Structure 1
Amino acid sequence: MARILLTHPAEVRMKYYGERALAGLRALAEVQLNEGPDALSTDALIEAARGVDVIIADRLTAGPAELFMGVPTLKAVLRCAVDIRNIDVASASVAGVLVTRASPGFVQSVVELALGYMVDLSRGISRATAVYHAGEVQPEAIMGRQLFGSTLGIIGYGSIGRALAPLAAMLGMAVLIADPYATISDARFKQVSFEDLLAESDYVVCLAVATEETEDLIGAGALGRMKPSAFFINLSRGNLVDEAALTAALMEGSIAGAALDVGRARDQMPSTELAHLPNVIATPHIGGLTPPAIEHQALDTVAQLAALLAGEIPQGAVNPDHWTRRV
């Protein structure tokens, strides 16, 4: 029977993997768990993986070259996430180890958070609530804005952007999209340059993929093109934003506010320096943290394991041509 290492720490496992998926793994293989409170370091991971055939990895557990060289029994690393940037796929390929990623089951969850952000930024819901919680009897009633009639700019027309755009249009928003790798055929939306999107949008939602090309995409120059009344929303990755430039723009009032679910702190969370600003709504990387979204990716790894054990190439495989260490 194949041996599996599930790297999710105990508390994380309950929230980000779940009993249904764990039962599915146990029906297929002998499962070894990370019973510690933290993500495994490289040395700890190599030690825990001795004699293991497959690692199912949480998003904080890295897969460096040392892992593939140090665990000769390892046949595959199945990532319970879409992001595999801290997996050394090139080294895995050299060693003949298969690497997979989960499919994005969090699309609707992230889209709903984006809509919630836009409403909150426009109407000051969380700000007013905080004032009441602080004990004020009669907080100031601040004039808000409505989404209807405003303009939404979406940077990156991937699965989340494609789901968000029609909902925004249904709310009566004009929708602009900037993505040099996509062609927009839907007449409800207008494809524009990155610069024009920044200049014309009331809400700028960053959904582009984190790559070397998009590193610090939102810097001083980009923020300087936005309207002083505009809001910036980041639901992609913290790597796309120059945090010093965003902090300056928010403090100087060159943009009206921001909502951030990601940043450059641990586990891609927003930094405390940005999160404490009064015109910022910050959440600790909860975009995909709903039961359907989490279970989708966990069950994806179960299906991938079943395919792998049957000698098939699982969906989500990123280096199938280099898979020589077969189970």
Structure 2
Amino acid sequence: MGRILITTDYLVPGDDVDRLLRRHGHEPVYSPYTGAREPAERKTLFNGIDGAILASESVSADMLAEAHGLKVLARSGVGYDSIDVPAAAALGIRVCNAPGTNHHSVAELTVGLIIMAARRLADVTNAVRRGQWPRDAGHELHRSTLGIVGYGPSGRATARLGLALGMTVMVHTSHPDAEDTPVRFADLDTVIAGADYLSLHTRADKTSQKLIDAPRLQRMKPSAVLINTARGSLVDEDALADALRAGTIAGAALDVLENEPLPKDSPLRHLDNLIITSHLAGQTAEARTRAGMAAAHAVIDVLANREPGHPVDR
């Protein structure tokens, strides 16, 4: 019935997604996204394609203008800021994502990064490999303050883990929940100023570009740590590098960057008080299975003229 392009690198021939698509009469076509594509490849990526299951690579209006016959783009993840949604909508191409599939994975890595920063585990393990035996004191999370910006599924899951660890949880969101009594809701600047660990879980859009900039970094405690497992565009990386070098804040842990992989000339390289992981917060086996299947069902629904479960274009 349709040719389905799959760029998500962990989806492979013969897996559950492949079998599901084939059961519905579709032909999966694989072109894994492992880094920036050449312009000529980007221009023709959707040639002869009816639907696509996408990794986090960008999809521009120019690419979509060449996508004759394309009916649906489905992200195997939550974020969709990499896709020009208005351009797709103007061409009648549906855009979907897969919310609620990886929030536990994101929350667990977020807390893992917080613990790494609090106990300086990256420094310790590297020192032990060099034959040293460091015994520096870290910090307990108990009775510290976890600030969360954005209260969707991953923000909520992170809050619950923070509460379980005995942390005070402050949240900034446009949709506070009055019944969520263990959590204190506050404006953004109050959360930024009060947090010992400031964790970003908000979506990326025009209003949140470089949400954490130099002035907001100045408002954080000198002992605070910034954690970003949401989107790289939320943080002004030049300002963050300056703040880390100057001791404006104590540290940061980033799973997402404005440009991935980390460029060789990035100002974030060679900072001892910075942890960087490779955009893997949602990359557990369980989350991958859920996200891949959710994206596949969206493609199947659109090509069968049914309304998909999680459209982001309307």
Same fold (TM over 0.5): yes
Give secondary structure in 2 for the equivalent of 1:259: strand
Work out whether 1:133 is the aligned partner of 2:129: yes
CA contact (8 A) 2:97 2:312 kept: yes
Comparing 34-43 and 117-126, the one that deviates more = 34-43
Match of 2:47 in 1: 50
Match of 1:70 in 2: 66
Match of 2:313 in 1: 319
Give secondary structure in 2 for the equivalent of 1:274: coil
Aligned residue pairs: how many? 313
Cα distance 1:191–1:13, how it changes in 2: closer, same or farther (>3 A)?
closer
Give secondary structure in 1 for the equivalent of 2:306: coil
Work out whether 1:33 is the aligned partner of 2:27: no
Using the alignment, how far apart are the partners of 2:14 and 2:167 within structure 1? Answer: 38
Cα distance 1:143–1:36, how it changes in 2: closer, same or farther (>3 A)?
closer
Comparing 240-249 and 78-87, the one that deviates more = 78-87
**Could you say which structure has the larger radius of gyration?**
1
Give secondary structure in 2 for the equivalent of 1:199: helix
Match of 2:108 in 1: 112
Structure 1 gap ranges (5+): 321-327
CA contact (8 A) 1:21 1:298 kept: yes
Amino acid at match of 1:52: I
CA contact (8 A) 1:210 1:239 kept: yes
- TM-score with structure 2 length normalisation? 0.90
CA contact (8 A) 1:7 1:40 kept: no
- Superposition RMSD in Å: 2.5
Deviation for aligned residue 1:112: 0.7
Deviation for aligned residue 1:116: 1.0
Q: Could you report, residue by residue, the CA deviation over 1:180-217 in whole angstroms, capped at 9, with x for unpaired residues?
A: 34344322111122222222221111212112211111
Match of 2:4 in 1: 4
Cα distance 1:159–1:39, how it changes in 2: closer, same or farther (>3 A)?
same
1:135-174 equivalence runs, <5 A: 135-136=131-132, 139-174=133-168
Amino acid at match of 1:111: A
Amino acid at match of 2:126: A
Using the alignment, how far apart are the partners of 1:259 and 1:36 within structure 2? Answer: 25
Match of 2:81 in 1: 85
Cα distance 1:7–1:201, how it changes in 2: closer, same or farther (>3 A)?
closer
Using the alignment, how far apart are the partners of 1:179 and 1:271 within structure 2? Answer: 34
Q: Could you report, residue by residue, the CA deviation over 1:253-286 in whole angstroms, capped at 9, with x for unpaired residues?
A: 1211111111222268998532421111111111
Amino acid at match of 2:183: F
Deviation for aligned residue 1:53: 1.9
Q: Could you report, residue by residue, the CA deviation over 1:115-158 in whole angstroms, capped at 9, with x for unpaired residues?
A: 1112111112221111011122xx33111211111111111111
Cα distance 1:276–1:314, how it changes in 2: closer, same or farther (>3 A)?
same
